[in-house]
Homo-oligomer: A and B are copies of this chain.
Amino acid sequence: MEMWFSDEHTDNVKLSLRIKRQLFSAESEFQRIDVLESEDFGKVLVVDGDLMLTEKDEFIYHEMITHVPMAVHPDVKNVLVIGGGDGGVVRELIKYDSLEKIDVVEVDPLLVEVCRKYIPEIACSLNDSRVEIYNEDGLRFIRSRTSEYDLIIIDSPNPFGPGEGLFTKEFYGNCYNALRDDGIMINQNESPFYEEEAFQCQRMHKRIVETFPICKVYQAHIPAYPSGHWLFGFASKKYHPLNDLNGVGWKLRGISTRYYEPRLHYGVFALPVYVEELLRDVE
């Protein structure tokens, strides 16, 4: 039997993966959730028809959204992860013994349950004693928090669907308030390549630039995501992503990774000319 899952990158471009079997499918209160087993990418989490993560390359996304700020901020104790019900960001965070509290705000309890059952290699990290999961709307959760976190990671799917509110200026302002005076906010910032995503990417950057004094965008090669060229936003109240890197300190922690290393740190912030121009237009 031939079975293929196609992730639509645009109306005119799609990436298709050969599927061995569908492991799970259900509609939650918020969205449709599927887990597929693919030939080349291992298990694949699909939400509302969009590829969220694959077993083969999720390490790239999760390492890059986590270790880049952790190698800069000298003393992270309290972290907030918005979205991230799959546990990938938390798996990277718990590698740091010095962290004291990790709050995860995932609106959809079914997503967490499904990930725990079908991708335990990733989701098992959610059992760490420092982790608290809030099944709440991220936008509402953040409104009531002030000067509480050293690091906020916005691991939101995309600017459509239930996560839409996580891409507004109001939301970024609330994140700013929820951060301590030397806090850092990281967001997944879409891809700069296809027109519609490039526009989202620009819009997000504009709103963050209007909220935080220090804002830089960095990149990673994530093969399963549209165009494979993925951006992240580094927004900060005090620490500069390059000038305040403590690569030696990070290496001394002995954290094991497969993509990130401080050796890469400057390079991931060196964006191609066309991406720089896209972002500069709104700075």
Contact = CB atoms under 8 A, between A and B. Distances in A.
A38 B221 CA distance: 24
A267 B273 CA distance: 13
Copies of this chain, whole number: 2
A258 B273 contact: yes
A133 to B, nearest CB: 30
Contacts of A39: 11-12
Given A16-B16, A272-B259, A40 B223 contact: no
Interface in A240-273: 257-261, 263-264, 266-273
A15 B12 contact: no
Interface residues of A, number: 40
Interface in A1-58: 6, 10-18, 38-41, 57
Contacts of A11: 18, 39
A190 to B, nearest CB: 13
Contacts of A273: 257-261
Contacts of A228: 221, 223, 227-229
A194 interface: yes
A92 B128 CA distance: 53
Interface of A: 6, 10-18, 38-41, 57, 60, 193-194, 219, 221, 223, 227-229, 257-261, 263-264, 266-274
10 closest pairs, A vs B, by CB? A228-B228, A267-B267, A267-B270, A12-B18, A12-B39, A221-B229, A223-B227, A259-B272, A12-B40, A264-B270
